[in-house]
Amino acid sequence: MSLPAPLDLADVLLKRYECLHALDNQLQAKPELVESLDIPRSTLDDIVRDLEHADLVEYQDGKWQLTLLGQYTLDHHTRYRDGLESLTEAAAIVEELPQETAVERRFLIDADVHVATGPVPDEVMQVFLNAVESATHVRGVTPVAMASYADSFYRCATAGSDSQLEFVLPLETFERLRVLHPDQADKAMADENTTLYHGDVPVAFSLWIGDGDHAGLIVYADQGVKGILINDTDDALAWANEQYNHIQENAKPIFYRGSTRRTPGYS
């Protein structure tokens, strides 16, 4: 049987998806399919005819089953549907971002989406704190800082004895945090496992990468946090590393490692 043209295959798949899904990992005779799909036998005959013509199903030993092409097509379509669901869920968060700092689609596909809702929207920040606490090496960038979470973030990111923290933020943001939390800021600057950088952070979201196995974004609203996205796919991590490396390579350490004397302007 000759393979169907891609557009013909897509058309059949769109119309006959439920039947393909019913046959996934389960061979069925026509009476079983009629019961599974709750459709008339005459309608099933048309569906099966279309699927067989497209080489998506085959008849063996009295039952219908997916062909190899049918299984691959169903798997691909399922991933596509899941990807659309990811984009739809993430849209409520990333639509808050300006166009010039938009998040690429590859970070949104298969992301875990946490929208700030309820009477305490900032409660979603616990998702972020749990993620960095579970990591040994945390890298990140942020254009702004939520002062009420600065100390909690530092404690969670450095909870382990071998934890490492690298973060880039604008100098004015660090200086403001140091005014509000002088003891915690000095502790971070003196910590040999923590490196703080100052530099331009040309994005409107906070980004972190934990152990190279997950990455996350915090998107801000006019008041507080809009939501958090976390993703551990290779594509998402590649995009996150590109963002971090681009910003970090032009940043400067806020202090010299091994020296108790800060340089003028923390440069």
CATH of the domain at 11: 1.10.10.10
Grouping H, G, I as helix, E, B as strand and the rest as coil, residue 110 is coil
pLDDT at residue 267 greater than cutoff 50: no
> Is the residue at 222 inside a domain?
yes
201 in the same domain as 140: yes
If pLDDT is split at 50, 70 and 90, which confidence band does 210 have?
very high
Share of the chain above pLDDT 70, in %: 91
pLDDT at residue 219 greater than cutoff 60: yes
Torsion of CA 43, 45, 51, 57, to 10 degrees: 130
| CATH value at residue 163 | 3.30.870.10
> Is the residue at 40 inside a domain?
yes
Grouping H, G, I as helix, E, B as strand and the rest as coil, residue 139 is strand
198 in the same domain as 233: yes
| pLDDT given for residue 147 in this prediction | 87
Enclosing domain of residue 211: 102-266
109 in the same domain as 65: no
Write out the E strands in 81-146: 112-115, 137-141
Mean per-residue pLDDT, 89-108? 85
If pLDDT is split at 50, 70 and 90, which confidence band does 240 have?
very high
State the DSSP H helix or E strand holding residue 131, giving kind and residue range, or none if neither.
helix 125-133
Q: Cα(22)–Cα(33) distance, rounded to whole angstroms?
A: 8
> Is the residue at 82 inside a domain?
no
> Is the residue at 95 inside a domain?
no
Beta-bridge partners for 210: 138, 214
127 in the same domain as 235: yes
pLDDT at residue 102 greater than cutoff 70: yes
pTM for the structure as a whole: 0.75
230 in the same domain as 131: yes
